[in-house]
Amino acid sequence: MDIDKSTPYAGLTPDCVLDALDSIGLRGDGRLLGLNSYENRVYQIWLEEGPGLTLDPGAAVVVAKFYRPGRWTDAQIAEEHEFVQQLAERELPVVAPLAQGGRTLHHFSGYRFAVYPKRGGRAPELEDRETLEWMGRFIGRIHAVGALAPFRARPALDLDSFGTEPRDYLLAHGFIPPDLAAAWTSVVAQALEGVRRCYARAGAVQNLRLHGDCHAGNVLWTDSAEAHGPHFVDFDDARMGPAVQDLWMLLSGERAAMVRQLADLLAGYEDFHEFDARELHLVEALRTLRLIHYSAWIARRWDDPAFPAAFPWFNTQRYWQDRILELREQIALMDEPPLWSN
């Protein structure tokens, strides 16, 4: 079935979701709950017990993720799944897709989907030093595995994919208000030049397989005796890039607070993987690229009804004025010394 990419989920009805799971031997009991996801569509689904159920005993609830049509190829999704499975095999606390019929990626009615075990948890307490060191140890272990081999099909995080191309998309599709276009174009050009200077100061740093979107919302903290500590979820943005990409999004507050947080993360991280301190020159550069990329990410999906509903402030005059001010601040921050050196 051909899917209209402007409204990619119009045909993904509750019956379609349940039929998709039924097609791989997982029969729902009729209950499903849409979870808070915009890039993909994610559902918590209650299952009937039956012979097709190959989950852990007693696991009657799963999470099904339906991938956004057209974003990733089958080969790219397969690399994501393979990476997460490699981490799980080394007993890292990640939520890996379940294999049904020997496969983790499934197709139904034009949609591609994967099924995951349900994991609960709360947001980690990032102001706690022990929590940060604990998370640093696990991120270090993730990167030790990520450094063993590169992604072949999935893209890299670089200036072109997160800076130049998003800028060009926003300009070509008329998202910037005409009276702000000159100011926005100028400040983005200055910001990208600042990113280039940061990369030049860092020099040739290693790219490895990353989580890619390692912020507090993608870490579930559990307090149970069986699974105490963090669980890393949603590797949908996994790609090649510098290790610091999976660290800087866990930092917040004023500079002094971020220095302390980074020191705590690296105290745990370097127990398992060496960190190249030159990458600290990239923290504000990577933040700048994420800001530019984020605007284009929303713009590309603006025809999806879920996006105007979830981001009503996007594409207003005030929104683009704020982005100009934000990037001016980033231009100054990129010329400051790195947060910390060891």
Domain with residue 292: its CATH number is 1.10.510.10
Same domain for 105 and 139, yes or no, is no
Q: Is 74 left (phi over 0), alpha (psi -120 to 50) or beta?
A: alpha
In three-state secondary structure terms, 65 is strand
Q: Which residue has the tokens 């947080």?
A: 261
Which of 74, 92, 117 is a domain's end point?
Answer: 117
Q: Which of 213, 236, 264, 304 does the annotation list as catalytic?
A: 213
Treating both helix axes as pointing N-terminal to C-terminal, what angle do 129-146 and 255-269 enclose, rounded to 10 degrees? 50
The answer to the question of residue 341 being in a domain is no
pLDDT of residue 228: 72
Do 103 and 136 reside in the same domain of the chain?
Answer: no
Residue with tokens 């990037």: 327
Count of the separate structural domains present in the chain: 2
- C-beta atoms surrounding 327 within 10 Å: 20
125: Cα separation from own chain's centroid: 20
Final residue belonging to a domain, choices 117, 141, 176: 117
Q: Which of residues 91, 117, 143 is at a domain's end?
A: 117
pTM above 0.85, yes or no: yes
Identify whether 4 is a catalytic site residue: no
User: CA angle 297-298-303, nearest 5°?
Assistant: 120
Determine contact, residues 195/285, Cβ cutoff 8 Å. yes
Instruction: Tell me, yes or no, whether 112 and 136 share the same domain.
Output: no
Domain for residue 286, yes or no? yes
Print the domain residue range for 300. 129-333
The reported pLDDT for the residue numbered 57 is 45
Q: Which of 158, 234, 236, 246 is catalytic?
A: 234
Is there a domain that residue 6 lies in? no
For 127, 219, 228, 229, 230, the CA distances from 124, given in Å and listed in that order, are 9, 7, 12, 9, 7
55, 117 Cβ separation under 8 angstroms:
yes
Q: For position 225, what pLDDT does the model report?
A: 61
Q: Is 213 a catalytic residue?
A: yes
CA distance 2 to 201: 47
Question: Tokens 């080394």 identify what position?
Answer: 90
Determine, yes or no, domain membership for 4. no
Is residue 79 located within the same domain as residue 176? no
Residue 226: predicted pLDDT: 65
| pLDDT of 178 | 96
In a domain, 169, yes or no: yes
Full pLDDT tens readout for the chain, 342 residues: 555 666 688 889 999 999 999 999 999 888 999 988 889 999 999 998 654 444 554 458 999 999 999 999 999 999 999 999 999 999 999 999 999 989 999 999 999 999 999 888 888 888 899 999 999 999 999 999 999 999 999 999 999 999 999 999 999 999 999 999 999 999 999 999 999 999 999 999 999 999 999 998 899 888 766 667 888 999 999 999 999 999 999 999 999 999 999 999 999 999 999 999 999 999 999 999 999 999 999 999 999 988 999 999 999 999 999 999 999 999 999 999 998 754
229 and 194 inside one domain = yes
The C-alpha atoms of residue 166 and residue 84 are separated, in whole angstroms, by: 28
Given a contact cutoff of 8 angstroms between Cβ atoms, the answer to whether 243 and 206 are in contact is yes
What CA–CA distance (Å, rounded) separates 138 from 270? 10
Q: What is the pLDDT of residue 2?
A: 52
pLDDT at 59: 59
